[in-house]
Chain A
Amino acid sequence: MNEEQFIRRDRMRFTKNTLSSTLAILAIVFDVFYFINIYKSDVGHNVGNFYYQIRIGASIIYNLVFMLAAFLSSEGVKNYKKEYCYILLVIGVIQIVRIFILPAQAAAAEITIGGTVYKVMERAQHIRVVLYLLVSAACCLAGGVIGIKRCNELSAHLASLQESKA
C-alpha cells in the first residue's frame, strides 16, 4: 500500500462515509417518485377495482418501512456500521423484486368501462415506475457494497494501526 492509499484509509478514521449515506437518501427519493407515480392510472379514477384492494395498503406500509430502513441505514453507513450496509443490500434486492409485483400486475391488467377495454397502466408509465424502482435499488445496492468495502478497509486499517502501536 503506497502513502496515498494509506492516507485515504487513515482519513476514514475522521470522516464519514457520505457517499453510501447519500446513495441511501437518493434511494428514498426515487422510491418517493415511484409511489407518487404508481397509483396514478392512465384511465383516471375508474380503476378502483384494480388498485383499491388490500395490495395498496401493503404497498403503502412497505413504502413507509422502506423509507425508515433506508434512512436509518443512511445514518448507520455514514458511521461505518457494517450491519446497516447489509440492510441496504436487502432493501435494494426487495426494490428489484417489487418491479415484478405491483407495476407488472398493473401493466398486464385491463379494465372494461362502458364496454371499452382499457389498460390500467400504459407502457410509458410502466417504464417510468420500473426505472424509479431500478434506480432506487441500484442506489441501495451501491451504497451497501461501497459501505461494506469501506468498513472492511477501515477495520483492517485500525487493526494495522493497533498492531504498529503494540
Chain B
Amino acid sequence: MAQLSLQHIDKIYDNNVQAVFDFNLDVKDGEFIVLVGPSGCGKSTTLRMIAGLEDISNGKLILDGKDITSTPAKDRDMAMVFQNYALYGHMTIYENMAFSLTLRKENPNVIHKKVLAAAEILGLTEQLNKKPSQLSGGQRQRVAMGRSIVRNPKLFLFDEPLSNLDAKLRGATRREILLLHKRLGATMLYVTHDQTEALTLADRIVCMSMGHVQQVGTPLELYDSPANLFVASFIGLPPMNFFDVKVEKGFLVNSQLHTALSPEEKDLLKAYEGKQITLGVRPENIVEGGDVSIKVFSNENLGMNTLVHGHLGDSKSASDKITAKLRGWCNYKEGDIASVSFNRKHFFDKDTTNAIRKEGQP
C-alpha cells in the first residue's frame, strides 16, 4: 500500500501542446481514486505520468515520501492494467501471470505460490492452463489484473480496463474490481470516461476537462454538489437539464418558466437579483404535479421509471429541451402536457460557470 502525492503536475508535449495543467492530488493509503472525464481531457496522460510511461514536464510526484518524478517506470513498483489486456497470446494464463516475476528471476516455487494465490482471488484457477484466446474478455481482463496482483505493487493503475467489455460483463467485472480492492486494501488509481464506473468504484473522484481538474470529491459530492457546469453536466445519467433564467423577486423566470424559489434559495441568490444565471435540474429531481409544464415529444418506459422528453411550455427551442425521470409507468403521448415541479435545483454563475453556493461552502 502507498501514499501518492501529485504536486503541480504539468504535461507539455514537444509540440507545445499542454495536456495537463497544474494537477494536484493527495492519494491516501488504500484509497480508490477514479479519474473521470471525456476523451482527451488528460486523465490517461496523468496516469501514464504516474506510471512513468510519460515524462512529467513540471511538478513533483511523491510516493511514500520519496520523489519519484524522474524514476524510471520499472523502478516505481507500480502495476498497470491496460484496456487491451496486453497478454502474451502464445503463453498460458499461468505463464502470463508469472511472467513479470520470471523476468525478475524470482524463485519458481515463490512464483508458483503467488500465481496460485492471485488465481484463487480472481477465480482463474481452472483457467491457468488455457491460452488467452480461449478466455472471454472479462476473464482476460482478470488475468491482466492477476498479473498485477502477483507483483504485489505499491500502487495499482487501471487505464479504462473495462472499455472492451460488453455492458453485462462490464458490470460484473466492475464488481470484481471493487471486491478486489476491498480484499487487497491496495491503493488504486483508475481512469475511465464512464461516470457509472466512477460513481460505483471510487472513494474519491477526480473530474477532469481539457487538462484541468474540475472537482475532487466523493461520488456523492460530485453528484449532489457539482462545483461547476461541466461537472454537473458530466456526472449523472440522464444528464442534468440546464436553463438560462433570470432571478426576479423570488422567482426564476424565462420565456417558458416561472417558478418560485424557496426561502433558502432566495437567500442563496440574493446577490443575483435581476441577473441571469443557469438553472440546473437533474431529471430525477423532477416530480409530477406543479407549476412547470412540459410539452412531451417522447415517453420511454424503463419499468420503475419513465423518461419523459419534451420542451418547456410551448417552446421548440433546443435550449428549452428537458428530460424528466418520473417515477412509475407513465403513458404520455406526443403533444401531451405534463405538469411537473423541481424538488432540487442547482444554480450556476452564468459568467464563471461555477456553482452558486453559500459563503464558506466548498
Query: Within the assembled complex, what's the spacing in Å between the Cα atoms of A7 and B107?
Result: 11
> Is A162 an interface residue, CB under 8 A from the partner?
no
CB distance from A154 to the nearest CB of B (A): 13
| B interface: dominant SS | helix
Map CB proximity to B onto A1-44 as digits: 1 under 8 Å, 0 otherwise: 00010011011011100000000000000000000000000000
Contact A4 B92, CB 8 Å, known A14-B128, A14-B129: no
Chain B residue numbers with a CB within 8 Å of A14 are: 92, 94-95, 112, 115, 128-129
Query: Within the assembled complex, what's the spacing in Å between the Cα atoms of A7 and B117?
Result: 13
Asked if A15 and B94 make an inter-chain contact with CB atoms under 8 angstroms apart, the answer reads yes
Chain B residue numbers with a CB within 8 Å of A4 are: 109
| Chain A residue with Cβ nearest B128 | A14
Query: Within the assembled complex, what's the spacing in Å between the Cα atoms of A10 and B128?
Result: 13
| A interface: dominant SS | helix
| Chain B residue with Cβ nearest A6 | B109
Map CB proximity to A onto B51-82 as digits: 1 under 8 Å, 0 otherwise: 00000000000000000000000000000000
Query: Within the assembled complex, what's the spacing in Å between the Cα atoms of A13 and B112?
Result: 10
| Chain A residue with Cβ nearest B94 | A14
Chain A residue numbers with a CB within 8 Å of B95 are: 14-15
Asked if B94 and A7 make an inter-chain contact with CB atoms under 8 angstroms apart, the answer reads no
Query: Within the assembled complex, what's the spacing in Å between the Cα atoms of A4 and B108?
Result: 11
Find residues 81-105 in chain B having any chain A CB closer than 8 Å to their own CB.
92, 94-95
| Chain A residue with Cβ nearest B109 | A7
> Is B113 an interface residue, CB under 8 A from the partner?
yes
15 other A-B residue contacts (CB within 8 Å) besides A14-B115, A15-B108:
A7-B109, A7-B112, A7-B113, A8-B108, A8-B109, A10-B112, A10-B116, A11-B109, A13-B128, A13-B129, A14-B92, A14-B94, A14-B95, A14-B112, A14-B129
Of the A-B pairs whose beta carbons lie under 8 Å apart in the complex, a sample of 20, sorted by A's number, is A7-B112, A7-B113, A8-B108, A8-B109, A10-B112, A10-B116, A11-B108, A11-B109, A11-B112, A13-B129, A14-B92, A14-B94, A14-B95, A14-B112, A14-B115, A14-B128, A14-B129, A15-B94, A15-B95, A15-B108
